[in-house]
Amino acid sequence: MVEFVCSRCGKTYEKTERVYKCECGGVLELKGKNVSFPLRKIERRKPSIWRYREAIPIESDRHIVTLGEGFTPVVPVKIGEANVLAKLDFLFPTGSFKDRGSSVMVSYLRETGIRRIVEDSSGNAGASVSAYSAKAGISCEIFCPAYASEGKLVQIRLYGAKLTKVEGTREDTEKAVRKRAETVYYASHNWNPYFLEGTKTLAFEIAEQLGWEIPDNVICPCGNGGIYLGLHIGFKELMEEGVTDSIPRLFGVQSHACPPLYLAYKEGKDKPEPFTQTKKTIAEGVCLAKPSRGEMIMNVMKETDGGFEVVNERETREGIGTLAKQGIFVEPTSAVVVKALEKLTEKGVIGRDEKTVVVLSGSGLKATEIILKAV
């Protein structure tokens, strides 16, 4: 039976309990899942995340909330001297990979009977959760930093969610929403483990699109680790079920303006220290001063022999241009992977002949104003 388990103290909760974290403050994980991959059935199904139905822990199909999300293209790109594969994970109904997590998390909300939620976001998750809440008929309020891209805020409003702007940093937004969460269910993409049950489908798709083979490395933007942790969960489940025989090295990329995971990696620490953000960055989606699953992320980094890299504003802008010249238009948060890959290859951490996938997580159409000023 599926249940919530605290990663810190081991306390368990029934999945119907309306908690977003353990009473000790620890993050919750899902235990008791039954996962399988009937490959012949999968290959005959529609190209969405729900083709992996037997690996997604929603009990009844009638609770599924979907907009047809998933199975985004994998295309070859040139980055520096390396030929790599780009997973275009911004080609989703709301323009970002967050639709993977929102589809599964909102399906869980419907299954549990939750009809009113609050969420906080730098923009993409708020837009995504708003869209899927609208589809499910769930009342939704989103807290966002006042500096968030207007394109994302317009989406939130149009989907019918209540938008609350918060002045200050991303951390100030999280503080504000926690006050609201005292009276309304906090459907947090950073805390709710069902969100990761959606993002893990990214690993399933990469493996299937490569002929059920595993790449040597996967590089992704990393703020609170939604992609990073989802990749690990997904690749691990594939390996445990005998579909594949390994897990790729996972590399996360952060902005110089807010790099708590990168600093922990460089200093050899088991978990990131709380970070005080004093600079702004156009890569707004990776700015979390205190990642809720920070210790879990560091454990995954060690288990996969992965690592972290950091890029500055100039490097982020150059990354946008490098991809645009190959016909790919992404937001700044996605573009951080470009210079990060160049650095990792120059240092010899990643070999130029290795099979590497870079994850491009958000569409440039959501941040045209910011990109116009930056580039």
Q: Mark which of 176, 193, 210 sits at the end of a domain.
A: 193
CATH number at residue 349: 3.40.50.1100
The rounded distance, in Å, linking the Cα atoms of 19 and 22 is 7
Three-class secondary structure of residue 203 per DSSP: helix
What pLDDT digit, counting tens, does each position of 254-282 carry? 999 999 999 999 999 999 998 988 788 99
Whether 349 and 326 share a structural domain: yes
Place of tokens 């010249």: 325
What pLDDT digit, counting tens, does each position of 200-241 carry? 999 999 999 999 999 999 999 999 999 999 999 999 999 999
Tokens of 51: 């083709």
Structural domain count, the chain: 2
Place of tokens 């275009």: 88
- pTM tops 0.95, yes or no: yes
Tokens of 364: 């440039």
What pLDDT digit, counting tens, does each position of 2-33 carry? 999 999 999 999 999 999 999 999 999 999 99
User: Over the chain, what is the mean pLDDT?
Assistant: 96
173 φψ region: left (φ > 0), alpha (ψ -120 to 50), beta (else)? alpha
> Amino acid letter at 137?
G
pLDDT at 276: 86
Q: Of 148 and 22, which is predicted with more confidence? A: 22
Domain membership of residue 6 (yes or no) is no
Helix (H) or strand (E) holding 202: helix 201-209
Whether 216 and 89 share a structural domain: yes
DSSP letters for 241-257 = TTS-S---EEEEEEETT
Whether 222 and 317 share a structural domain: yes
Taking CA atoms, 120 is separated from 112, 140, 199, 266, 292, in Å, by 21, 11, 18, 29, 13
Q: Which residues of 161-194 are buried (b: 16+ CB within 10 A; e: fewer)?
A: bebbebeebbbebbebbeeebeebbbbbbbbbbb
Q: Mark which of 193, 209, 239 sits at the end of a domain.
A: 193
